[in-house]
Every structure is written in structure tokens, then in C-alpha cells.
């Protein structure tokens, strides 16, 4: 019998950049396959898995606006980019016999279901992975905010953010060799110290609802499963514990 898991229902946030591997842009099929393998392994444990994907490997609205494109138009293009990534992930998961549904915040009925909270929860209860695309459906909001929103809407036990570093550091470890890993940190400290876990709107939404955020290195094989099993991997953002 497998060891019991620490979480019954999770929401995993994956950036679009994580899906492009070493490519300058677009999708690296080998990376998508590895991510699908990781999700499938967790799904086999009986954990209910939802995913939010970004679109930065194709286009990011804010960056596009800096090049002269209207910000709203750029964000709408970014939402469509997340749908492309969601469909690629769905295809990879279903090739691994994992039933998957894509739900979008913008209506594209010929491609995917429109997001309906109760239907998403029902899919999870039936053992399907649900991939949320289209961000929040509104411009000016990041996919981090979409992840926090969807995680709270489906009553996830934890929001997991896969990154390319080991967790939350006091500074960017790629540029500051003195940066230290914080195994546990409060929402308030993340906001006050601008620790770049997720954007402020996402952190605040999780704080208001007491939803913990797990931050870990997604490039290490098996890390998602380790986090789900409750192993001390990465960092945990949550309300500080108080001694009795």
C-alpha cells in the first residue's frame, strides 16, 4: 500500500516558461511529457489534481504592451496562449491514460469546456485531472492570480507552485550567492520583503482564505509526489503557527 498523502486535492501552477525547456519560445514536447509523467504519478496516488498553466512561452501581455501593443489586447492574446499549453498538457496526460478536462475562463466551446466551478469539482471527484486555462478571463491579472482564485474556488488543500529553484529564498539565488532558503514563511513576510513567490494579489487571496502555498523545484523528478506525500521539499507559505 502506498504511504498516505498529506493532501487530498491540490492545484498545481505551471508557468508557460517551464514548458519550453531550453527553447527560446514555444513548447518542448519532451518537457511537456516529463510534466505529464509527474502529474500522472500523483494522480495514481488517488490525489485530486487541478492545474493552472501560464502562457509566457508564447506571449506575455505585459511584455507585449511594452512593445506597443494595447495591454488589454496583449493580455487576451496571453489568455489564448494558455489554452494552447493546456491542450498540449491534456494530450500528454491522456496518452498516459489519465482522464483530463480543460476548462477555460473565456468561451471556446469547440476546444474546451467553459469554466464552471461545480463541474470542475465534479470532474475532480470522478478522478479526472482538470487543467484551467484562460487565466481569470480578465486582463491585468496574472496566471498566479488565476491559480490562487481557482485553488480557493475548488477548495484545494494547497496551491503548489513549481519553479526552477528549490523554494523561497531571501533573495534571488541565481544572482545573490548569499541568498538562503526559507523552509517556512508567512504571507505577510512574503509581501513585506517582496520575496517574489507570486504576485501580491495572489498572496493576499491565499492569506485571506488560509490556503497554504508550496513552492518547490519542479525540474527535480519526483518532487511533486514528494510534496504531496508531505515530505519537507521546498518552502511553505502559510499563517505562522502559534504555541499553545
Give the pLDDT of residue 62. 67
Distances (CA, A) of 2 to 7, 14, 42, 155, 229: 14, 26, 11, 24, 10
Question: Which value, in Å, is the radius of gyration of the alpha carbons in the chain?
Answer: 17
> Which DSSP state fits 220?
S
Residue count of the chain, please give it: 244
Count other Cβ atoms within 10 Å, centred on residue 243.
Answer: 3
pLDDT classification of 127: cutoffs 50, 70, 90: very high
Distances (CA, A) of 189 to 20, 117, 175, 186, 207: 31, 31, 21, 5, 11
Tens digits of per-residue pLDDT, 150-171? 999 999 999 999 998 899 999 8
Give the pLDDT of residue 60. 74
Tens digits of per-residue pLDDT, 196-207? 899 999 999 999
**Over pLDDT 90: what percentage of the chain?**
83
pLDDT classification of 2: cutoffs 50, 70, 90: low
In contact, 204 and 20? CB cutoff 8 Å? no
Contacts of 192 (CB under 8 A, 6+ apart): none
What predicted TM-score, i.e. pTM, was given to this entire model? 0.92
Distances (CA, A) of 55 to 31, 52, 80, 84: 15, 10, 8, 8
In the chain, DSSP assigns E strands to: 9-14, 48-53, 100-104, 113-114, 129-133, 158-163, 168-169, 181-182, 184-185, 213-217, 235-237
Pairing of strands 184-185, 235-237: parallel
Give the pLDDT of residue 177. 86
**Tally of helices (H runs) and strands (E runs) in the chain:** 8, 11
In contact, 131 and 159? CB cutoff 8 Å? no
Please report the domains of the chain, with CATH numbers, ordered by start residue. 9-237 (3.40.1160.10)
Q: Which three cell numbers stand for residue 32?
A: 511537456
Q: Which three cell numbers stand for residue 1?
A: 500500500
Distances (CA, A) of 5 to 42, 115, 147: 10, 28, 22
Give the pLDDT of residue 28. 94
**CA–CA distance, 75 with 217 (Å, rounded to integer):** 27
Amino acid at each position: 500500500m502506498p504511504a498516505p498523502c498529506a493532501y487530498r486535492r491540490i492545484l498545481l501552477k505551471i508557468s508557460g516558461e517551464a514548458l519550453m525547456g531550453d527553447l527560446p519560445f514555444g513548447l518542448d514536447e519532451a518537457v511537456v511529457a516529463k510534466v505529464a509523467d509527474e502529474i500522472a504519478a500523483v494522480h495514481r496516488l488517488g490525489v485530486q489534481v487541478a492545474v493552472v498553466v501560464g502562457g509566457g512561452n508564447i506571449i506575455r501581455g505585459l511584455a507585449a504592451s511594452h512593445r506597443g501593443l494595447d495591454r488589454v489586447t496583449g493580455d487576451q492574446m496571453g489568455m489564448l496562449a494558455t489554452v494552447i499549453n493546456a491542450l498540449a498538457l491534456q494530450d500528454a496526460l491522456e496518452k498516459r491514460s489519465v482522464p483530463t478536462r480543460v476548462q477555460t475562463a473565456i468561451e471556446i466551446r469547440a476546444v474546451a469546456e467553459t469554466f464552471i466551478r461545480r463541474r470542475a469539482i465534479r470532474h475532480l471527484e470522478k478522478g479526472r485531472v482538470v487543467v484551467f486555462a484562460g487565466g481569470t478571463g480578465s486582463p491585468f491579472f496574472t496566471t498566479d492570480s488565476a491559480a490562487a482564485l481557482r485553488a480557493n474556488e475548488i477548495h484545494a488543500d494547497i496551491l503548489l507552485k513549481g519553479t526552477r529553484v528549490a523554494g523561497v529564498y531571501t533573495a534571488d539565488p541565481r544572482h545573490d550567492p548569499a541568498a538562503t532558503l526559507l523552509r517556512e514563511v508567512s504571507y505577510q513576510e512574503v509581501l513585506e520583503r517582496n520575496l517574489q513567490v507570486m504576485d501580491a494579489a495572489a498572496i493576499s487571496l491565499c492569506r485571506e482564505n488560509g490556503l497554504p502555498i508550496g513552492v518547490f523545484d519542479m525540474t527535480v523528478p519526483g518532487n511533486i509526489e514528494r510534496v504531496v506525500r508531505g515530505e519537507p521539499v521546498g518552502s511553505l507559505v502559510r499563517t505562522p503557527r502559534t504555541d499553545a
